[in-house]
Chains A and B, each alone.
Chain A
Amino acid sequence: MEQVSGKIGDFHVSVRKRARYVNEDLCTGCGSCAEKCPTMAVDVFNAGLGRRKAIYKYFPQGIPSVFTIDAPECRQLGQGKKCGICAKVCQAGAIDYGQKDSIVHLEVGAIILATGYEVFDPSVIPEYAYDRIANVVTALEFERLLSASGPTAGHLDRPSDLELEKEIEEIRKEAKKLDRQIRQLEEKHGRSSASVIEQVAGGADKELRDWAAQAEKLLTMEKSLAELEKRKAAAQPARKLAFIQCVGSRDFRYNRFCSSYCCMHSVKEAMIAFEHDNDVRSTIFCMDLRAVGRGFEEYKLRGGSQAGITYLRGRVAEINEDEARNPVVWYESTTSRQVIHETFDMVILATACIPSSSASKVAELFEVELDENGFFKTDPLAPLNTSRQGIFTCGCAQGPMDIPESVAQASSAAARAAEVVSPARRSA
C-alpha cells in the first residue's frame, strides 16, 4: 500500500505490486526452473528449517501457481553474476529479469484490513534459551516438522539431528574437494600421500609440506565424519515432547493478552505427533487450558485419554540442555507444589499471536486507530468496524482468534463492505 485518500464510498488507493520476475500469464507452474536453479536459499515458509531454490513457489498449494525469483538470493539479479539458467529452461518463456514494480490504482467504496498477525519471537525470553538450544522450537516450526510437505516429510527428526546432517553434508563436500586435489597430486607425482607424510616428518620443501598438511587434514575430516555418521545413525526421532503455553502471552514483560488459539494448537500438535508415532508422549505446561469452542473440551480430554498427553499446571521457569542435546525443563508443579526438572527430546513453545510489524504503518496510512495491544481497534458492538467509516477489519488483524472465527468474521466484514458498495441486486 502506497497511498490512500478519499472517504467511505469513494476511496482512492495506490498499491505497489512487486516484481516477481516471472510473467504470471505465461508461467504454467511446471517447476523446471526451480529444478535447474543452482542457488539454494533459506526456506522462509518452512520456518527456516529447510532450504529451497532462489526461484520458488512459497508453498506447494499456493495460488496462483506461479514461480517467483527471490531477487537478493538470485545469482543473476542479486549478485550480478551470469546465470540465466531459469530463462533457458523455461519452455513458456515466462522469465523476465527486467520486470519492474508497478503501481496499481484502485477506486473502491470500502476497504477490509485483513493483514493478519505475526508470531512472537521467543529469543527475547532468556530463560527459554530458544536461540541457544536447537531442540527448543516454536509451535510454527514444529508444525512444519509435522507437515508432509515440510523439511522432514512429517517425521519428527530433532533439529539437532538435522543440524548434524547439515554438518556432515558440509564436511563431506569439503572432503570430496580435498580428496580430488590430493588424488591429482598423487597421480602427478606417482607416489602416495602416506609416503609424503612420512618424508615430511623428516623435513622437506614447502610443496611437500602443504601436500602432507592437506592429506592430514583429510584424514582428520574423515575421522570426524565417521564420528558424526555414528551419532547420526544413533539419532532417534523425538518421542518425549514438552509444550509450553503462554510464551510471550499473559506475561506482563511482553504481552498481557491471551493469544486465544495456542492451547488448542498445542493439543492438536501433540495429537498429530501421537498419530504419527504412537510412542510419542507429550506434556502440555499451561496456566489455564483454554478449550472453549465446540468440541474443544472433548478433543482435549481425548488427547489425555487416547493420545498420551499430560496436562500440567505450571509455568516453566527455565530450560537447559544436557550433553545429549536434550532440553531439560525446570518447573514448579503447582498442583503437587514441587520444583521438578525433567528431560525431554524436544520443547515446543506456544508463542504469542502479536500485531503484524506493519500494523502501525498500515494504521497510519489508512488513518485508523490501534488498540492498546497494537491490533486494529474495533467496537465491541460493531466488531468489524475500525475507527474510520468505510474501513473494516477481520481476523487476527483485530486480535487473536482461531480459524472458524476468522472465516466467520471474513464473511461478516464482507457483509459490512457490501452494505457500503452495493445497493442490493434484485432486492424486493
Chain B
Amino acid sequence: MAEEIRIGVFVCDCGSNIAGYLDVKELAEYAKTLPHVVYVKENLYTCSEGGSNEIKAAIKEQNLNRVVVASCTPRTHEPLFRGTCGEGGLNPFLFEMVNIRDQCSWVHMQERKEGTAKAMDLIRMGVAKAALLEPQEPIQSEINPRAMVMGAGISGMTAALALANRGYEVVLVEKSSETGGLLRSLDRLAPSGIDAASLADRHAEMVGNHPNIRLLTSTTVEEIQGYIGHFNVTTNTKGVRDGFEAGVIIVATGAGVLKPVGLFQYDGEKVINQLELEERLKSETFSPGNVVMIQCAGARNEERKYCSRICCMVAIKNAIALKERNARTGVRILYRDIQAYGTENEALFQKAKELGVLFIKYDPARPPQVQQGTVKVFHDLLGRELSLPQDLVVLSTPLIAGDDNEVISRLLRVSLDENKFFLEGHVKLKPLDFATDGVYLCGNAHYPATVREAISQALGAASRASIPLSKGVMSVEPIVSTLVDEEACRGCGLCVALCPYGALEIVKTEKGRKVRVIPVACKGCGVCAATCYQHALSVNSYTDDQVRKQISAFLNP
C-alpha cells in the first residue's frame, strides 16, 4: 500500500513583509483545511535558525513526508529550505515552495483581502503539487580545473593572476592586440599618482611570465557550449579557430567610453572628453589657459539615466593635475552632484578646492552653453548667469556598456541590465556571480568602477571562481528533464533543436533513434517537455501530473 501523504505547511510572516499586508493567521487556519495537511505553523521568519529547527522537529514528530513553505522567493530561499528538509531526514526534493511575498504581498500592499485570497490559492496549489512530489537524487559532475578569463584589462589580468598564483591554469582571452584595456588611455591614477601605462605594463609582464597563464590576444570567443565544469570554448585568433575546455569563466570585458558627438559643441579639438584630455596630459608641456569641465555630459539624462560613478573623480583628478602643473591654469568644474564618495575621493575633492579649482553647480534644466571662448552657465546658487572664459572645454562622459556585451551575454546565457552592463546574480548577496553557475564578473563589465574597485572585484571574482575549481566535483540540482517514456519517443529531434542549453542529443539504441538527456547541462527549463507531442520527456518535480493537479487545485477551491 502506498505511504500515507503527510504534509506540513509553514507560513512565514517575513517580519512585516508578508504579515503586514496579508492575514497570515487566516492563511495558517486555511492551510489546515487542505487535503493531506497534518501540521501547520506560522513563523516570524521561517528562514531563521529557530524556524528551520521547527521544520526539522516537525518532520520527525509529525512524521511529515512532504514540506511546503509559503514565504519569499525560491531564488534565494529554496536551497535553504531544501537543505533544512535534508537535515530533518526528508529527501530535499519532497519540498515545495510557495511565493506569497514577491508574487503576492509585495504586489498587493493595498489589497489585504484580495491578496490574502490569492495567497490561499497559491498555498492550495502548492499543497496539491506537494502531494505528488517524488524524491530525487543530486547529479554529480567533475570540474575541469582550468579557468577562462575574458578581457585582459586591469580586472582580467588581476583575476587571472590571482587564480594562476593558486596553481590553476588560466586562459586569458583579449580581443585587442595588447593587454591593459582602458589603462592604456589614461595618464596617471589618483590618489597613488602612479602612471597608468606602467601599471598595465607591470601586470602584462607578470601575466606574460606566469607559467599557468596562456594569453591569447587578438582573439574573440566565438562559441561557448556546455556548463559549469565543462565549458567548451571556441576561439578565433585572426581567422584561426581553436578550442579548449574550461571549468569556470570570468567576464572582465570592461566598458566603452561615450564619444559625446552632438553634445556641448564637441569637436575633439577645442571641446574634448576626459579621455582625450588624459591623452594630452601625457605630454609634459601641455598646459592650457582656462579649462571648463562639464559633468554628466550624456549621463543622468532621459537617454542614459544612470550615474557613471567615476566621472566626477576623473574630472577632479585631471583638474588637480592641471593645477599642479601650472597653478595659474583656471579650472572650473560645472557639476550637478559631486560624487566623491568615501574617504579617498572626498579628500581629493577637498584638495582640488584647496588648489583653487572652482566648482559650480548647474541645473540640468538650464544646461551650460558652450560658445566661442566662453561657457555660459546659470549659477544655481548665485541665481544668475555667469560667463566663464575658456580655452578648452572638457566633457565628462559616462562609461557605456561594451559593444560586444549582447553577443557575450548570448554566448554565456547571462543577463544584461537596462543599460546593457552585465547583471550580477543578486545585487547584495552575489555581486560577483552570474545567475548561471560557473560564470563570474568583475570590473567595468559590471558597472563603472575605479581601478581600486576593479582590482578588488577581480580578486573577489577569482575567489568565487576558485570554489568549484578547488572542490573538483559539483552537485547539480536534479530538477532536469528525464525521458520518462522511452517507448513513446520517436527520435524526431524537435526537442534537440529547441533546447537552449545543448542538453539533449539523439542516440541510436536497440529500439531505434531515441533522445538522451545530458543532465548536468540541463537547466530544467521545460521547453522539451512542453514540445514533445509524445509526452516522452518530463521535468522532475514539474511533471505533467503535478502541474495538472496544481491547475485543477486553482480552479476548484
Contact = CB atoms under 8 A, between A and B. Distances in A.
Given A292-B309, A293-B447, A380-B451, A257 B16 contact: no
A416 B431 CA distance: 18
Nearest to A57: B50
B417 A295 contact: yes
A245 B384 CA distance: 27
A404 B431 contact: yes
Contacts of A373: 343
A61 B47 CA distance: 8
A408 B340 CA distance: 20
A383 interface: yes
A29 interface: yes
Nearest to B430: A407
B429 A424 contact: no
Query: What secondary structure prevails in chain A residues at the interface with B?
Result: loop
B71 to A, nearest CB: 13
Contacts of A275: 109
A147 B45 CA distance: 13
B49 A260 contact: no
B42 to A, nearest CB: 14
A79 interface: no
Contact-size category for A: 35 or more
A104 interface: no
A403 B469 CA distance: 26
Nearest to B57: A28
B309 A408 contact: no
B192 A399 contact: no
Contacts of B417: 294-295
Contacts of A371: 343
* Interface SS, B side: loop
Contacts, number: 199
B199 A381 contact: yes
Contact of A60 (B44, B451, B462, B472): B44
Given A154-B20, A422-B166, A415 B459 contact: yes
A428 B145 contact: yes
A412 interface: yes
A292 B307 contact: yes
B342 A258 contact: yes
B457 A297 contact: no
B412 to A, nearest CB: 19
A87 B430 CA distance: 42
B45 A337 contact: no
Contact of A414 (B14, B309, B427, B463): B463
Nearest to A264: B341
Interface of B: 13-17, 19-20, 44-45, 47-50, 53, 109-110, 145-146, 162, 165-169, 189, 191-192, 194, 199, 212, 300, 305-307, 309, 337-347, 350, 361, 363, 380-381, 383, 417, 421, 427-432, 446-447, 451-453, 455-464, 466, 469-470, 472
Given A148-B14, A288-B339, A290-B339, 15 more contacts: A31-B50, A148-B20, A149-B44, A153-B16, A258-B342, A291-B307, A294-B447, A295-B306, A381-B194, A403-B428, A407-B429, A408-B456, A411-B463, A423-B166, A423-B167
20 contacts: A29-B50, A148-B16, A154-B20, A288-B340, A294-B306, A294-B446, A298-B305, A335-B380, A384-B459, A399-B342, A401-B342, A407-B429, A407-B431, A411-B432, A411-B464, A412-B460, A422-B470, A423-B167, A424-B167, A425-B472
